[in-house]
Structure 1
Amino acid sequence: MGNILCIYLFLHYCFMATLAVTAKNLTTDQSALLQFKSHITSDPHSVLAYNWSISNPICNWVGISCGARHERVTALNLPFMELGGTISPYLGNLSFLVKLDLSYNNFHGHLPNELGQLRRLRVFSISNNTISGGIPGFIGLLSKLQILKLEFNDFSGTIPDVLFNVTTLEALWSHNNNIQGSISPEIVKLTRLKIFYMASNLLSGSIPWSSIYNCSLLQVFRLGDNSLSGSLPDGLCNRLPKLEWLTLTYNGLSGQLPRSLGNCSEAVVYSFSENKFTGLIPQNIGNLSKLTWLTLNSNNLEGEIPEEIGNLQNLQHLYLGFNSLTGVIPEEIGNLQNLQHLFLGFNSLSGVIPASIFNISTIIRINLARNNLSGYLPSTIGRRLPNLEILAIWSNELTGTIPTSITNASRLVKLDLSINSFSGLVPNTFGNLKFLEWLSLDSNNFATESPTAEWSFLSSLTNCRKLKTQLQDQGQHSY
């Protein structure tokens, strides 16, 4: 009996000691959070003002989650609260914290180095604030970190090499900052990386593709709006088989588009506009059955548009403008029955406009301006375009009359048919276009011998209550 009593007393002591330690640790967490609260200078919705009080259990505070096992604070989630102030260094005392999300607030100043003590942290999001300074080196100490979100802040300086020591990292969002320098070959260490998003920064130098190939799980690689140089390697898709998003717009990349781009079977978005790419558009891009965006605007591409593009049944956005493309517009583009935006303007395309383009019911914007297109507009134009808002085919060599069916595209906002050789009478049905804001018909060969017809046309425009511009200036056009 005495032994049983001793065991009972021992267990009771251990239980009470555990409660005391838990209470003490929760007191430590509470103190850290109250210190965090004291650094808040703006709480317009009183999120913390009344709820974060010692009269309430800490695990019931707004934005706080506690672990069932240790009853310690494991998550601090306060996004979209419009909180203002600085980040308290005392947050580093939340030693069981797994998730820290302070995104979409008004925090400013630097991130305190004490956050490097959060060795259990897996998710760290401080996006959409005005945090400044460099990307802190303490991030290299967060050995379990998986998701790091720093986007839309004022971070500057270079990417610290210690960041690449966090081999557990799966996603890095750091776009829309002022980060400069090059991408270090040390990225080779991030073998679990799936998302690398550093668009809209000041990065320069070439992309270390041979190191990035080690990140074979990479799905999203977005580096648009930087100052990067170099070219795309031939084996890119063979080495990164899971790649879905590849966006490199607004850089200084050059060379030819590699044929292997057609091997990224998971590709959803290819965006290479505003670079210096040369040569042909690879035909086997037509193999990418999941592709929804293909933007190659403003490069130095030449040759014909591959008819294989017509195989991209999921394509919604096709931008090939501002290049030196020649030949005809492939009839197969009419097969793209999910297409919303078609921009082929500012090339040297010739021949007739395929009637099939005007049968794409999903299309919102068509721009074929500044080419050498000829022939008539199809007599059925507008009848199958319920969503069309912009039609820009100015500065071509189109002839014939403007079909009255064009006004069946009832959602038209901008219509620019100027600088062509259209003849006959202007349809008097333009008044049906209730949303029309921009109309340009100048520099054509319209008949003027019928004042009645001209008056009928002008009178119809009074129904276009939103019409602001009927252009006569050839220097201005709708895009």
Structure 2
Amino acid sequence: MDSPALGFSVSTAAMQPASTGLSFHQLYRRRQRVTALNLSYLCLQATISPRIGNLSFLVLLDLSNNSFSGFLPHEIRSLRRLRILRLSFNKLEGRIPPSIHQCRELRRVYLRGNYLTGAIPSSFRNMSSLELLNLEGNSLSGPVALGIFNISSLIVIALTDNHLSGNLPTNLYSHCPNLQGLYLSSNEFSGQLPSQLNLSCRELVILSLSYNKFNGSIAEGFGSLEKLEVLHLGGRRHSNNITGNIPTTISNLSRLQEPFHSRNHIKGSIPNSELSCPNLELLLAAGNSLSGHIPYYLSNCFKLIYLDFSANLFSGPIPKCFGTLEDLQVLSLDGNKLTGKSGDQVLSFLSTLSNCRFLERLTMSFNPLNIIIPDSVGNFSASLKTIDASQSQLKGHIPMGISSLKGLTFLDLSNNNLSGSIPSTLGGIEGLQRLYLRDNKLEGIIPDDLCQLRNLGELFLSNNKISGSIPNC
């Protein structure tokens, strides 16, 4: 296989999984000025020879996505012209050689997805040309040398999914004016969130701090990050311990696509200042102590796909504005204090959701809604798979039109005040796997039509007023 761009030729046989065939020593003895060595995605199983240091003209070394094992040799320090080092997704172990800083021309370092241990060498701070440092998915531990955050050329720092600890400096971004991505999630960092956010970090696009042990509040300065698109401070499981209110300046972030603050202790209401969020796609704030009404101006977020306000203290009626979010796929409002409008017998917001043609999941359980399910529920998205409205004080009959939701696999209307009979049309939802109607006031017989639900795995009808025989399916 000829590779003129790499400055050498190597046979196909040499690319077999058990051997690299052409050793680094052989390349050196050919006296060719090899400037780029790309052996990525070749299923190679080997160790990296110390003789790699003899390829002193290398600018690019890419051995990623193989099965290289053993230690990263210290001789790599001899690659003084090296600019790009790609060793991700191998089986390298041990420590990162502190002498790597002698590769002073290094711009990009990719060591993601290995078994590297120990601390991140403090000598990285001497690599004044470094633009990208990706050490994600290893077992690195200990504090990060603060000098790394003083490298003004850095564009991306990616340290996610390690065991790194310690506090971050409050002026974390002051010396990284070009920083666009900071990925520190899934570590053991602690202390206060960085608070000194100003024009010095105006290039920041992605800030990911989820699944650590940070505390404190979200600083007003976050509102100055005008290019910020992704802000991850929480997660779907226990994450940080962020407290306080959401600052009003957050409304300045017009490019924001993914604010992710779930499972913290953020309180207060969503800022009253109208949010301009034309690019917002995910709004995840579950498991906090947010209160007040859900603001109507969320209709401005017309690209919204996923909205999760579950497990908070929101109150008042669910706004009709959700019906204008035509791209909405997930709406989770369960575990709040939301109600229907006073005197409104039909849950009007549900009627508007028929405009959300891509809706797949709707959860509104554990709210004192005290309303009737409208017949228009049958006009919901054909993509709808989950409806969970358990323990929400629903009343009236289960509408016959619900059978139009042919894609439904999960329906939970348990622990409500529903009355009347079980609609025979439920048997037409052929993909239904879970049907929960227990703890209501349903009466009459179990319709034979339910025998058509060939995929049904669970059917709960207990604590109703149902009579007659069980269908012989």
* Structures share fold, TM-score greater than 0.5: yes
Find the counterpart in structure 2 of residue 146 from structure 1.
83
Contact 2:193 2:215 in 1 (8 A): yes
Do structure 1's residue 218 and structure 2's residue 154 form an aligned pair? yes
Find the counterpart in structure 2 of residue 436 from structure 1.
384
Find the counterpart in structure 2 of residue 285 from structure 1.
222
Q: Which amino acid aligns with 1:433?
A: S
1:10-25 mapped onto 2 (5 Å cutoff): none
Using the alignment, how far apart are the partners of 1:252 and 1:169 within structure 2?
28
Do structure 1's residue 424 and structure 2's residue 371 form an aligned pair? yes
Contact 2:99 2:123 in 1 (8 A): no
Do structure 1's residue 108 and structure 2's residue 48 form an aligned pair? no
1:236-255 mapped onto 2 (5 Å cutoff): 236-255=172-191
Find the counterpart in structure 1 of residue 410 from structure 2.
469
Kindly state the Cα deviation for residue 82 of structure 1 after the two structures are TM-superposed.
Answer: 8.7
Find the counterpart in structure 2 of residue 6 from structure 1.
none
Find the counterpart in structure 2 of residue 155 from structure 1.
92
Do structure 1's residue 301 and structure 2's residue 248 form an aligned pair? no
Cα–Cα, structure 1 residues 85 and 421, in superposed 2: closer, same or farther, change >3 Å? same
Unaligned runs of 5+ in 1: 1-47, 49-60, 66-72
Contact 1:289 1:314 in 2 (8 A): yes
1:135-164 CA deviation, whole Å, 9 max, x = no partner? 122211111100001111111111011212
Kindly state the Cα deviation for residue 110 of structure 1 after the two structures are TM-superposed.
Answer: 1.0
Using the alignment, how far apart are the partners of 2:260 and 2:94 within structure 1?
34
1:223-234 mapped onto 2 (5 Å cutoff): 223-234=159-170
Cα–Cα, structure 1 residues 461 and 472, in superposed 2: closer, same or farther, change >3 Å? closer
Cα–Cα, structure 1 residues 430 and 326, in superposed 2: closer, same or farther, change >3 Å? same
Contact 2:274 2:297 in 1 (8 A): yes
Using the alignment, how far apart are the partners of 1:408 and 1:358 within structure 2?
13
Do structure 1's residue 386 and structure 2's residue 319 form an aligned pair? no
Kindly state the Cα deviation for residue 332 of structure 1 after the two structures are TM-superposed.
Answer: 4.1
Find the counterpart in structure 2 of residue 193 from structure 1.
130
Kindly state the Cα deviation for residue 256 of structure 1 after the two structures are TM-superposed.
Answer: 0.8
Using the alignment, how far apart are the partners of 1:151 and 1:222 within structure 2?
13
Kindly state the Cα deviation for residue 472 of structure 1 after the two structures are TM-superposed.
Answer: 5.7
1:55-134 mapped onto 2 (5 Å cutoff): 61=2, 63-65=3-5, 74=7, 84-87=17-20, 88-89=22-23, 90-93=26-29, 95-134=32-71
Q: 1:205 aligns with which of 133, 142, 156?
A: 142
Using the alignment, how far apart are the partners of 1:354 and 1:214 within structure 2?
41
1:405-427 CA deviation, whole Å, 9 max, x = no partner? 02211100111011101122112
Q: Secondary structure at the match of 1:167?
A: coil
TM-score of the superposition, structure 2-length normalised?
Answer: 0.80
Contact 1:98 1:121 in 2 (8 A): yes
Kindly state the Cα deviation for residue 86 of structure 1 after the two structures are TM-superposed.
Answer: 2.5
Find the counterpart in structure 2 of residue 359 from structure 1.
300
Cα–Cα, structure 1 residues 374 and 129, in superposed 2: closer, same or farther, change >3 Å? same
Find the counterpart in structure 2 of residue 398 from structure 1.
338
Using the alignment, how far apart are the partners of 2:183 and 2:279 within structure 1?
21
1:297-333 CA deviation, whole Å, 9 max, x = no partner? 0210111001111111111110011110110012446
Contact 2:197 2:224 in 1 (8 A): no
Using the alignment, how far apart are the partners of 2:205 and 2:114 within structure 1?
25
Q: Which amino acid aligns with 1:447?
A: K
Q: Secondary structure at the match of 1:445?
A: coil
Q: Which amino acid aligns with 2:391?
A: S
Q: Secondary structure at the match of 1:203?
A: strand
Contact 2:184 2:210 in 1 (8 A): yes
Using the alignment, how far apart are the partners of 2:172 and 2:96 within structure 1?
24
Find the counterpart in structure 2 of residue 17 from structure 1.
none
Using the alignment, how far apart are the partners of 2:105 and 2:406 within structure 1?
59
Using the alignment, how far apart are the partners of 1:96 and 1:433 within structure 2?
62
TM-score of the superposition, structure 1-length normalised?
Answer: 0.79
1:201-231 CA deviation, whole Å, 9 max, x = no partner? 101110101x224522111111111111111
CA RMSD of aligned residues (A): 2.2
Structure (1 or 2) with the greater helix fraction:
1
Using the alignment, how far apart are the partners of 2:249 and 2:293 within structure 1?
19
Instruction: Give the aligned length.
Output: 398
Using the alignment, how far apart are the partners of 1:228 and 1:468 within structure 2?
42
1:162-204 CA deviation, whole Å, 9 max, x = no partner? 2121111111011111111001221122111111110111011
Cα–Cα, structure 1 residues 413 and 157, in superposed 2: closer, same or farther, change >3 Å? same
Kindly state the Cα deviation for residue 117 of structure 1 after the two structures are TM-superposed.
Answer: 1.4
1:384-409 CA deviation, whole Å, 9 max, x = no partner? 21211100010000000352102211
Contact 1:98 1:123 in 2 (8 A): yes
Contact 2:98 2:122 in 1 (8 A): no
Contact 2:369 2:392 in 1 (8 A): yes
Using the alignment, how far apart are the partners of 2:223 and 2:8 within structure 1?
46
Contact 1:175 1:201 in 2 (8 A): yes
Cα–Cα, structure 1 residues 108 and 378, in superposed 2: closer, same or farther, change >3 Å? same
1:309-328 mapped onto 2 (5 Å cutoff): 309-328=250-269
Find the counterpart in structure 2 of residue 38 from structure 1.
none
Using the alignment, how far apart are the partners of 2:99 and 2:195 within structure 1?
35
Q: Which amino acid aligns with 1:417?
A: M
Contact 2:185 2:211 in 1 (8 A): yes
Shifted more, 229-238 versus 256-265: the winner is 256-265
1:448-467 mapped onto 2 (5 Å cutoff): 448=396, 451=397, 454-456=398-400, 460-467=401-408
Cα–Cα, structure 1 residues 430 and 181, in superposed 2: closer, same or farther, change >3 Å? same
Find the counterpart in structure 2 of residue 18 from structure 1.
none
Contact 1:296 1:321 in 2 (8 A): yes
Kindly state the Cα deviation for residue 93 of structure 1 after the two structures are TM-superposed.
Answer: 3.6
Cα–Cα, structure 1 residues 184 and 409, in superposed 2: closer, same or farther, change >3 Å? same
Using the alignment, how far apart are the partners of 1:257 and 1:75 within structure 2?
50
Q: Which has the larger radius of gyration?
A: 1
1:170-181 mapped onto 2 (5 Å cutoff): 170-181=107-118
1:343-385 CA deviation, whole Å, 9 max, x = no partner? 0110001100001113311011000000000000123431x21
Do structure 1's residue 410 and structure 2's residue 357 form an aligned pair? yes
Q: 1:343 aligns with which of 284, 288, 294?
A: 284
Using the alignment, how far apart are the partners of 1:93 and 1:442 within structure 2?
74
Cα–Cα, structure 1 residues 407 and 359, in superposed 2: closer, same or farther, change >3 Å? farther
Q: Which amino acid aligns with 1:132?
A: S
Unaligned runs of 5+ in 2: 341-346, 416-433, 435-473
Shifted more, 235-244 versus 347-356: the winner is 235-244
